[in-house]
Each structure stands twice: as C-alpha cells, then as structure tokens.
Amino acid sequence: MGLTLTLLLALPPGARAEQHFADASANVDRVLALADERMSLMPGVAAYKWQKKLPALDPEREKAVTAHALDVAKTMGLAPEGVREVFDLQVRAARESQVRLHDTWRAQGFDWSGPIPSLETDIRPRLDRFTADFLRALYLAAPEFARADFTTTYVARIDTLRAAGWTDAEKHALLDALAKIRLLPADPGLSPAARIKNTGVIRVGTTGDYAPFSIDRDGTLTGADIDLAESLANRLHLSPVFIKTTWPTLLNDLGADKFDIAMGGVSITPARAEVAAFSTPYATGGKAILARCAETGRYPNLAAVDRRGVRVIVNPGGTNEQYVRENVKRAVVRIFPDNTRIFDEISANRADVMITDDVEADLQAKTHSDLCRVSRETLTRADKAILLPKNDDELKTQIDGALNEAIQAGEPKRLLQQNLK
C-alpha cells in the first residue's frame, strides 16, 4: 500500500498523510522489520559487554524486559501468553547471539571496528522505544496472526530477517510464536477508550465505496468522512488506521472488534441502534430518486417508480436496500454489489432508477452528465453519525467531544462541500 505502516507509526499524532486501507501483509512486515531491527543492535550490546568485561548473560535484565512488555501489552488488550512467547524468544535469540560473539572473540580476538555504543545512553533507550513500537505493531497485526494458515502463508517472509545473529531455527520459532498473538476479548477492566489511548491508534471502519463520504480511488482513500476522521484523530492525539468493511458486514465487523468506530456516511437507523451506539449527528439528509435526465418526468415520486417494468438497482447491505425492500413491491429490483460502478448501469440503460441518499444523488448527477435527481424533495429523513460500540460511554464521550468541536468549527459541512466538488 502507498502509506506503509512504518511511516504511519513514525508520524506524530495528528499529522496528516495520504490515507489507505490498512494492509494485513504490511502489518506483518512491520513486526518482522522491528524484530530484525532489535536483533541488529545485539552486536553493539555484545561489544559493550566485552569491553566492560561483563557477561553476555543478564538474567535479571531479561526478566525485566519481558515483564515490562507484558505490562504494556495488557493496556493494549493483547493476550499475555502470545506476547510472553514472542518476547522470550527474542530475548533468548539476542542472548545466544551475544554468547556466540563472545566465544568468537575469545577464540580469535576482539575485532570490533568503530566506536562502541553505550549500553546505558544509546542502546537501552532504543530498546525501550522498541518495546512500545513493537507491541503497537503486534496489536495492529493481531487479526492476521489469527489466520489458521498464517505460518504457511508467511513462511517465506522470514527470509526478510537478515540481521546477524538469527539462526534458521529462531526465525521459524518467531513465526510460530507470532501465530499465537491474540487480542483479548472484551475486558471490563480495559475499556475500548483506554485501549485506544494506550495504543495511540484509532481503527476506523469504512467501506470506501460511498462518495462523497468515503471512496477508495486506486488505493487512496478520499472523502468527507476520511478527512473528518483525520481531524477527530488529531483532536484526540491519535493516529487513524482505516479498516475495510462492507455495508452487509458493518455491524458484525464492529461487534467482532475489527475496528473501534465506523465512518463513511453511516445513517442512524433503529436496527443499527439496537446493537450499536451513535455519536452526535453531523449531517442530515434523506433518500432521493436518481434517473436518466431524459426520463426524470417518468419518476416524480415513489409511486411512479414502483411500477411493473421499472428496473430499480440497489447496492446491498445498507439503508438503500432496506428502503427499497420495504417500499418497492412491483418494480424489478436488481442487487448490484459494486457501489462504485452502480450508477454506470443506469447510464448504460441496464437499470432505470436508483434510490439513494440525496448527497450521493447530487454528486452522481455532477459526475454523470446524463443522470439527474428527479426532485429536490426527499423520500425520507435521516441523520449521519459515527457508529460506536454499544454501552461504551467513555468512548462516546471522547468521540462526541472531538466531533462537537469540529461541528462548531463548521468542519463536517465544509468537508462535505469540498468533496462534492
């Protein structure tokens, strides 16, 4: 993907960058790159200990490293078993690397060239920073680690571990250990809001197929809600990570903890409100009828649309399909899965009408010269809001606080108008 996870985590909170969907394989690559970076420091550690006549083994320090990692991992919602195995393996591999170097220097003489780094002022501060970065990377890659075929899918990636000190056995053992990394289930002692704060990351689910709110253009995410998500993350001192979802799986994905919040033109509906929560509304609108401009006179209202022979096209899983199924009984209804190409079907005369949100109808009328919204009146009225987990008052309070600041500054309206252009 265009924005690597390395760059994402290197950006200070609130920095704006080109946005993309999180790439599962890139998340794994980030973990391996960090593990390799840690191992690359070990020759310097070994040289410092040799110079100071210190043993390569430091059991107390090793225990402290893993214990600290487990403490931080808990605040991120990572299960301790997998984290312990990964850190124990890295500590063991680092120790064995130092032992081998000391054995070589005893046999052949100390051949270190260049300045020897300081363990206290140089290497250990870097290792401490590594722990936080590495755990954050584990957190983001956890869904990929949970794949049943993770080790077979990624076995070739261990060849990217090139730092001196790795053995082939240790590389394979690291991959096996990563396959055991898991996110903890909902924990009353660790709210989603606390976990988000501790990771410094907010995972935003979006479909990428609903202009002008969220659209994936050749791998780059744009849209009013993508911009708004960046703005809210900035206010909350977080880095946004965008997770791909679909309208049919939106609620299930939220419930499965695949993301923290969902944005992208999500309408407030009773069905969604039963299983999830919503932020303060930041936009409002309703369903409108879109047709070929030459035929708008044929469809002035819903009754004119709902006639035999009229071909109504609709995208699956969202409020458009819900409205059509509840209100269109006589016309031919065709489900079309690709919301980015659905309007081309009307232009190509393979469908006659689409009923969609008024803001999308306006945008498509601008981008398709042959398509028109048949009336400025809407068939329904609904608010847009951020979809949130149910019964998480702390997260809702934080999101609403940032969102209300944005609303007072006129951001949602301004961003929507910008993206309508």
Q: What is the pLDDT of residues 351-409, one digit of tens each?
A: 999 999 999 999 999 999 999 999 999 999 999 999 999 988 999 999 999 999 999 99
Distance separating alpha carbons of residues 45 and 58, to the nearest angstrom: 11
Residues 192-284+383-420, CATH architecture: 3-Layer(aba) Sandwich (3.40)
Distance separating alpha carbons of residues 369 and 366, to the nearest angstrom: 6
Which backbone phi and psi does 149 adopt, to 5 degrees?
A: -105, 25
Arithmetic mean of pLDDT, 207-211: 93
For residue 80, say if its preceding peptide bond is cis, omega within 30 degrees of 0: no
Arithmetic mean of pLDDT, 303-315: 97
For residue 109, what are its two tokens? 């003489």
Q: Which residue has the tokens 């410094």?
A: 200
Task: Grade residue 5 by pLDDT with cuts at 50, 70 and 90.
Answer: very low
Taking each helix axis from N to C end, the angle separating 24-40 and 42-51, rounded to the nearest 10 degrees, works out to 20
The confidence score (pLDDT) of residue 17 equals: 62
Distance separating alpha carbons of residues 255 and 325, to the nearest angstrom: 25
Percent of residues, the chain, with pLDDT higher than 70: 96
The confidence score (pLDDT) of residue 133 equals: 95
Distance separating alpha carbons of residues 101 and 47, to the nearest angstrom: 8
Distance separating alpha carbons of residues 138 and 32, to the nearest angstrom: 10
Whole-model pTM over 0.85: no
User: Which distant-in-sequence residues (6+ apart) come within 8 Å of 420 by Cβ?
Assistant: 212, 359, 362, 363, 366
Topology of the domain covering 20-178: Chorismate Mutase Domain, subunit A (1.20.59)
Percent of residues, the chain, with pLDDT higher than 90: 89
Say whether pLDDT at 16 is over 60: no
**Topology alike, domains 192-284+383-420 and 287-380:** yes
Distance separating alpha carbons of residues 221 and 68, to the nearest angstrom: 37
Say whether pLDDT at 89 is over 70: yes
Say whether pLDDT at 186 is over 50: yes
In the chain, where the domains are located: 20-178, 192-284+383-420, 287-380
Q: Which residues are registered as beta bridge partners of 334?
A: 313
The confidence score (pLDDT) of residue 218 equals: 87
The confidence score (pLDDT) of residue 275 equals: 96
Q: Which of 354, 275, 268 is nearest to 313 (CA)?
A: 354
The confidence score (pLDDT) of residue 9 equals: 41
Angle made by CA atoms 277, 269, 208, in degrees to the nearest 5 = 80
Q: What CATH number was assigned to the domain covering residues 287-380?
A: 3.40.190.10
Say whether pLDDT at 269 is over 50: yes
